[in-house]
Amino acid sequence: MALPFRKRPTAEPAAGSALEVADTETGVPSRTQGWARLLRGNKTMWVVAAVAVVSLVAGLALGQFIVSPGQAAADAEGPKAGLITVPIESRQLANDVTIRGDATYADSVEVKIETGELGGPAVVTGQVPEVGSTFDAASVALEVTGRPVIVLPGDLPVYRTLRVGVSGPDVTQLKHALNAVGINPGSVASPMYDAATSTAVAALYAKVGYPLPSSGEETGDMLRSAKDAVSAAETGLKTAEHDLAVAKGGANSIERAEQDKNVRMAQRAVDDARANPESTPSDVANAEDALSVEYTKRDALLAVPDVNAEAAAVAAAKQQVASAKEALGSVTNDTLTFLPASEVLYLPGLPRRVDEVTVERGSTISAAVMRVSGASLVISGSATEADAKLLKEGDAAVLAMPDGSQHPATVASVAPAEAAEGSTESAGRYTVVLTPAELSDEQLQALQGNNVRVSIPVSSTAGEVLAVPLAALTAGPGGESRVEIATGDDDETRLVEVTSGLAADGYVEISGDIAEGDLVVVGR
């Protein structure tokens, strides 16, 4: 609203003031000329005054059209409330367990070699592997004092030399290992190291290209002595058996006939003594005694002979032969191929990759000689117990490779994580080990040592299904699931009962009297 202005009365200029100027022609003072002189002498002041007046007028005029934001908000009317809808989509839903894992070669172990039976310094003489090389069954891990250390599959460590006659689980392990490299060790069910096993070990040395382990010259001398002892014992047995056979046979026909003749002669002597009138009673008695002796001799000759002494001699001779043969067998076994404890190395999970070598040619073994791990790269990650229960061996997974690409993998194992001694940090955690699909050399190099993201689908729909945001799903009075469908007539809607399925990524699978593209209400 414009303010009223009241005209201020104009005072007459006083005589002799600046406004009163004499007319140059008439000499009479002129008021107009005084104002003109005043304007010419204060031009700047008047320009400033004019600008101020114009600005005031413009401000008053614009004020009629400019409205403050607060006033504009107060004067504006609120929008009419409406429905917030989204269309029903056709999409595939999937739930994933996402973890991070380290790409490493698994099961790293230190390699130690049994050198206690060498009888001298265990000097490395060759076959030193390079880091990154691979051990397989029947590989030579190292050469010590000119002899090979042969790699075989197995879990049981070496603790003794194996030769013919010994038995135990280490022999069974050796037989299984020989079978694994294509060599027949004889009966795998038997824990005995026998001649067949010895032959198989000889074939193993031929396979790796090394001569058989030597028994030494002393063994040859012992073998000859043992053979001589067996021959002597067998000769003694034959003599004893002959004596026994003779003793068992008793008197021959000539001896029996001779004794019968002696009996008849003694009988005739008795008869003659009795018939001779000159014989005295003493002569008859002597003849009768002689007859009795001959009868006794004949009875003894015809009786079963006593062969106890001869039989005992035979038994002793047999025992001597058995002992000699046992000694010969023992020495013979020593000459058959054996497997020294220092020449075999059992490793589980072959093939194995060499990660570190701590010896070199010419050095003496005093501790672990190298460190090996599984030859295959694995991804080892940690998961919560809740996530781990959703996973199982054989599940498919996807690795986020360092270059941004994706690579398939498979869950190899899911097991409770072992807490460090004195710590409970891993309580409730599980270790998930995954095996990547075949990797190129470039992928192996890029992946090794990196920590990567792993996605493991644990549930998904079989193809595309109808799905809506979770906010669109409500519960009816009976607990049934339903959605509100916009009909298109103003804000009218209808409630449709649906069956819900898998929920993932903020969406839920539904089915019922609905179709793709129907608008469901998610808010107002």
DSSP string for 311-351: HHHHHHHHHHHHHHHHHHHHHHHHHS--B-GGGEEEESSSS
**DSSP code at position 105:** E
Q: Which residues, 6 or more positions from 497, have their beta carbon under 8 angstroms from its beta carbon?
A: 476, 480, 481, 482, 512, 513
Residue 428 Ramachandran class (φ > 0 left, ψ -120 to 50 alpha, else beta): left
Tokens of 86: 């989204």
Torsion of CA 357, 360, 361, 366, to 10 degrees: -90
Q: What is the CATH number of domain 86-90+463-523?
A: 2.40.420.20
Q: Would you write out the chain's pLDDT as a tens digit for each of its 524 residues? A: 444 444 444 444 444 444 444 444 445 455 555 555 555 556 666 666 777 777 776 666 666 656 566 565 555 555 566 788 899 999 988 888 999 999 888 778 899 998 888 778 999 999 999 998 999 999 999 999 999 999 999 999 999 999 888 999 999 999 999 999 999 999 999 999 998 999 999 999 999 999 998 875 556 666 677 788 888 888 888 988 888 887 776 677 787 788 889 889 999 998 988 889 888 889 889 988 998 998 888 877 776 677 788 889 889 989 988 988 887 777 676 678 899 999 999 999 889 989 899 999 999 998 899 999 887 888 999 999 888 988 999 999 999 999 989 999 999 999 998 765 555 555 679 999 999 999 888 888 888 888 999 999 888 888 899 999 999 999 888 889 999 998 877 778 889 999 998 888 889 999 999 999 999 999 87
Report the largest interatomic distance among the alpha carbons of the chain, rounded to a whole angstrom: 250
Cα separation, 30 vs 141, in Å, equals 131
Strand 429-436 relative to strand 406-416: parallel, antiparallel, unpaired?
Answer: antiparallel
Cα separation, 435 vs 398, in Å, equals 11
Architecture of domain 374-460: Beta Barrel (2.40)
Per-domain boundaries in the chain: 1-77, 86-90+463-523, 109-213+337-371, 374-460
